[in-house]
Amino acid sequence: MNYVQIPTGQGQTMKALYVAAADKNAPGLVLIQEIFGINGAMQKLAQYWAAQGFNVICPDLFWRQEPGLELNPTNQTQFALGVELMQNMQDSETLADLEATRSFLAKQIGHQNIAAQGYCMGGRLVVLMAAHSPIRCAISYYGVGLQDLLPTLPAKAAPTLLHIAELDHYVPSDVRKVIEANVAERAEWEVVLHEGCDHAFARPGGVHFVESAAQQANAQSLAFLQRFTA
């Protein structure tokens, strides 16, 4: 596990966590953060997915505002700062940063066999990336605002797996129905509902962490990733 600097094309660089797989020729995975930066949870997830056989890179998407932040979700002041930073982001700039990350990873591993996966804020951004980046597939863990985003995406968006928590107050049942109806019209898109789970159920060490559900979701994600990156 080490940190690299990704050129952004504006004469500046963006810090990213890079965790190589045992096999350099293994598929690549762009890992997209929650609102808390590349904190301990994202570091653990990067290491986990590298151990599953992926060259993982996780960019610091807050670099334009406050680079290098590692926020604690249980600290209300830090939580509020993460929300503020997210609200100040521009999708066009963030997509450019994510594409720069994908391109950087492709050069590092020598091929274009790359997928993307995101959590919470990243769960929305990865769906956006599926429509605008040449990734093989996308996986979203409890993405926010998908009911508004999905209708704007073209049919050609990359295959995507959505993990939704049954008790997630960001995705009540009426919102979930909108998401499920949209996904049903898309080829190679899937939704998995995790019953009895709340938002961020797969965040290592999180307040709502459910180990059994996280293991199930990760197994489903791994199968989906392998299907499109094998």
- What CA–CA distance (Å, rounded) separates 169 from 200? 11
| Nearest of 123, 225, 227 to residue 165 by alpha carbon | 123
Within 144-198, residue ranges assigned H as helices are: 146-149, 173-184
DSSP bridge pairs for 13: 7
Q: Look up 97 and say whether it is catalytic.
A: no
Tell me if 204 sits within 8 A of 217, measured CB to CB. no
Residue in 97, 168, 194, 198 annotated catalytic: 168
Helices and strands of the chain, counted as H and E runs: 7, 8
- What DSSP letter does each residue of 40-80 carry, written as one string? HHHHHHHHHHHHTT-EEEEE-TTTTTSTT-B--TT-HHHHH
Residue in 60, 97, 194, 199 annotated catalytic: 199
DSSP bridge pairs for 75: none
Residue 185's SS3 state is coil
Catalytic residue ranges: 168, 199
